[in-house]
């Protein structure tokens, strides 16, 4: 009988842990991206609907990016930053804090 307090690390358990940490890091980057996008959009006084229409995506996609729940493609990010008149790298200004 194994001790319930001591958990052995198995390859499967280790892989799940790594995947969980990777997802957490992605959420952190997506959240940082979303916060910066929302700040820039509001700074330009553009609605989610107008930004989405100009970038070729729906307002729901813009909102999802801003909330950090949608992982946008580079093409979508490029269209959004072009419409806002900013560099793509500007959206990642806070992401360096999240790097390991």
Q: Give me the residue spans of the domains in the chain.
A: 33-89
C-beta separation of 52 from 58 below 8 A: yes
Indicate the pTM of the whole model.
0.70
Query: Treating both helix axes as pointing N-terminal to C-terminal, what angle do 59-67 and 48-55 enclose, rounded to 10 degrees?
Result: 110
Helical H segments across the chain, by residue range:
11-43, 48-55, 59-67, 74-84
Going by C-alpha positions, the residue among 55, 27, 23 that lies closest to residue 41 is 55
Q: Which CATH number fits domain 33-89: 1.10.260.40, 3.30.1330.10, 3.30.360.10, 3.40.50.720?
A: 1.10.260.40
**pLDDT tens, position by position, for the chain (100 residues)?**
555 555 566 777 777 767 666 665 667 888 889 999 999 999 999 999 999 999 999 999 999 999 999 999 999 999 999 999 999 998 887 655 544 4
Classify residue 91 as exposed, middle or buried by CB count within 10 Å of its CB (0-12, 13-18, 19+): buried
């Amino acid at each position: 009988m194994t001790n319930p307090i001591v958990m052995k690390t198995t390859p499967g358990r280790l892989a799940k842990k790594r995947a969980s940490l990777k997802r957490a890091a992605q959420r952190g980057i997506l959240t940082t991206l979303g916060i910066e996008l929302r700040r820039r959009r509001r700074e330009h006084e553009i609605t989610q609907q107008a930004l989405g229409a100009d970038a070729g995506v729906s307002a729901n996609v813009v909102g999802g990016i801003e909330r950090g729940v949608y992982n946008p493609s580079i093409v979508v990010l490029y269209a959004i930053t072009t419409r806002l008149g900013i560099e793509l790298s500007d959206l990642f200004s806070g992401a360096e804090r999240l790097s390991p």
